Amino acid sequence: MVVSVVDGDTVHLDSGETIRYLMVDTPEVGDPGDCFSAEARQYNSDLVLGKQVSLSYDVDCDDQYDRLLAYVSVAGREVNTLLVERGYACVLYIPPNGEQRQAEFQALEDTARSEGRGMWGSCPVVACD
């Protein structure tokens, strides 16, 4: 179960584990945060906070910060793809993870960009661009 949301692409579980979403990069929170960081964090929170999530992994299951790297699903919807599709995240491909899904994620980002969804229509500069 997700007990806290760090930002648009990182959450904490009730097991004590931290999950970093695979294949996505959302604007960084902070003072000041990147354009659309608050919206990405809120969207992520609306999707997962207080909910049971399913995790699926790729080649590497963790990173240098001891976070689990995963595709996260809630109620049958994959959060990673929703973030990109709706313009809350850019694609972040770090091999070997995501090799099989890189084209899928890139197509979602390209459509979000061309249709001005989320940060693509709201930010003069997209930090992950």
Q: Residues with catalytic annotation? A: 20, 28, 67
How would you classify the pairing of strands 90-92 and 68-74? unpaired
* Distance (Å, whole) CA 77 – CA 61: 21
* Distance (Å, whole) CA 78 – CA 21: 10
* Distance (Å, whole) CA 82 – CA 101: 14
Q: What number of residues does the chain have?
A: 129
Token digits for 114? 């061309």
